[in-house]
């Protein structure tokens, strides 16, 4: 595999990996994945092979392993992959470091997932098209591709300049950095300021410490682009894929048939090969 460029996404998750599981501790991944699996099956996914793209520390594929799927997974960040390989029942040789725009040849999969706004780290339409084309090369003829994107509502609430909230469990503070009004297709940024090792959450939130980090710890900076539904559909078509459904997702992984960018936190796309 070619040497990967140090993209903003790679740098962000190399910093975040040590506290990622704490930072997402409140997520009910099992119920969330259960709902997405049901949707995938309703759209024709009927085989055992699953590829989880941008798998993080493995929380998104662990429920699929428990359901008996033959799981492969990959992530851009070696630090995240290292943790994902420790998941119960996973074959560590099937968890790979890979860029979603250049997925390795792994055979055909009946289900490909790419969850938790990973697609938003693709910062151009060309990157979006490359990622979809890479998935298309690995998707079985009747395979289903399920991925999500952040909505305008999420960017306006979490990436705007005045959007600040704490995650005491992880000893971190999220800070929105985007100053201009956030419009469809906007490039947005936010940072997670992490406590130095051994510091408590109170120090992070309290404002002590040198400039550049509330508690003097590392800063995991997240740069994303909002991808409007029309852009996503066009990029899928360029890869020979067709959008079969778009659902809204609200806090807690609750899915809604009528997707609304102004209301829901994510849009969930279901795609397959174009007729």
Give residue-wise pLDDT tens across range 119-165.
Answer: 999 999 999 999 999 999 999 999 999 999 999 999 999 999 989 98
What is the per-residue pLDDT for 223?
Answer: 98
Q: Is the pLDDT of residue 205 over 80?
A: no
What is the per-residue pLDDT for 212?
Answer: 41
Task: Over range 167-182, report the average pLDDT.
Answer: 88
Q: Is the pLDDT of residue 208 over 60?
A: no
Q: Is the pLDDT of residue 214 over 80?
A: no
Where does the chain hold its CATH 3.40.50.150 domain(s)?
8-150+227-273
Helix (H), strand (E), coil (C) string for the chain = CCCCCCCHHHHHHHHHHHHHHHHCCCCCHHHHHHHHHHHHHHCCCCCCEEEEECCCCCCCCHHHHHCCCEEEEEECCHHHHHHHCCCCCCCHHHEEECCCCCCCCCCCEEEEEECCCHHHHCCCHHHHHHHHHHHHCCEEEEEEEEEEEECHHHHHHHCECCCEEEEHHHCEEEEECECCCCCCCCEEEEEEEECCCCCCHHHHHHCCCCCCCCCCCCEEEEEEECCCHHHHHHHHHHCCEEEEEEEEEECCCEEECCCCCCCCCEEEEEEEECC
Q: Is the pLDDT of residue 4 over 70?
A: no
Task: Over range 232-237, report the average pLDDT.
Answer: 98
Classified by CATH at the fold level, domain 8-150+227-273 comes out as: Rossmann fold (3.40.50)
Please name the residues in contact with 59: beta carbons below 8 A apart, sequence gap of 6 or more: 21, 24, 27, 29
What is the per-residue pLDDT for 2?
Answer: 40
Q: Is the pLDDT of residue 204 over 50?
A: no
Q: Is the pLDDT of residue 219 over 50?
A: yes
Task: Over range 171-179, report the average pLDDT.
Answer: 92
Share of the chain above pLDDT 70, in %: 90
pTM attached to this predicted model: 0.91
In this prediction, residue 216 has a pLDDT band, given cuts at 50, 70 and 90, of low
Q: Comparing 212 with 41, which gets the higher pLDDT? A: 41
In this prediction, residue 81 has a pLDDT band, given cuts at 50, 70 and 90, of very high
Q: Is the pLDDT of residue 103 over 50?
A: yes
Task: Over range 3-18, report the average pLDDT.
Answer: 85
In this prediction, residue 198 has a pLDDT band, given cuts at 50, 70 and 90, of low
What is the per-residue pLDDT for 25?
Answer: 81
Q: Comparing 264 with 169, which gets the higher pLDDT? A: 264
Average pLDDT of the residues of the chain? 90
Share of the chain above pLDDT 90, in %: 80
Task: Over range 48-72, report the average pLDDT.
Answer: 97
């Amino acid at each position: 595999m070619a040497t990967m460029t140090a993209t903003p996404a790679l740098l962000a998750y190399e910093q975040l990996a040590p506290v990622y599981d704490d930072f997402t501790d409140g997520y009910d991944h099992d119920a969330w994945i259960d709902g997405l699996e049901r949707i995938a099956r309703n759209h024709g996914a009927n085989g055992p092979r699953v590829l989880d793209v941008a798998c993080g520390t493995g929380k998104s594929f662990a429920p699929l392993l428990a359901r008996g799927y033959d799981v492969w997974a990959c992530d851009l960040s070696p630090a995240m992959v290292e943790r994902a390989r420790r998941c119960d029942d996973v074959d560590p040789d099937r968890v790979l470091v890979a860029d979603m725009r250049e997925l390795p040849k792994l055979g055909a999969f009946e289900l490909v997932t790419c969850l938790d706004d990973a697609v938003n780290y693709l910062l151009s339409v060309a990157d979006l098209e490359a990622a979809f084309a890479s998935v298309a090369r690995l998707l079985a003829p009747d395979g289903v591709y399920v991925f999500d994107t952040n909505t305008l509502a999420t960017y306006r609430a979490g990436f705007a300049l005045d959007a600040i909230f704490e995650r005491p469990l992880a000893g971190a503070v999220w800070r929105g950095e985007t100053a201009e009004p956030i419009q469809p297709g906007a490039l947005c940024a936010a940072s997670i300021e992490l406590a130095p090792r051994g510091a408590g959450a109170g120090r992070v939130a309290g404002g002590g410490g040198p400039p550049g980090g509330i508690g003097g710890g590392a800063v995991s900076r997240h740069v994303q682009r909002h991808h409007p539904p029309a852009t996503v559909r066009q990029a899928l078509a360029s890869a020979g894929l067709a959008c079969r459904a778009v659902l809204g997702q609200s806090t807690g992984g609750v899915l809604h048939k009528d997707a609304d960018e102004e209301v829901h936190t994510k849009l969930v796309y279901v795609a397959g090969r174009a007729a």
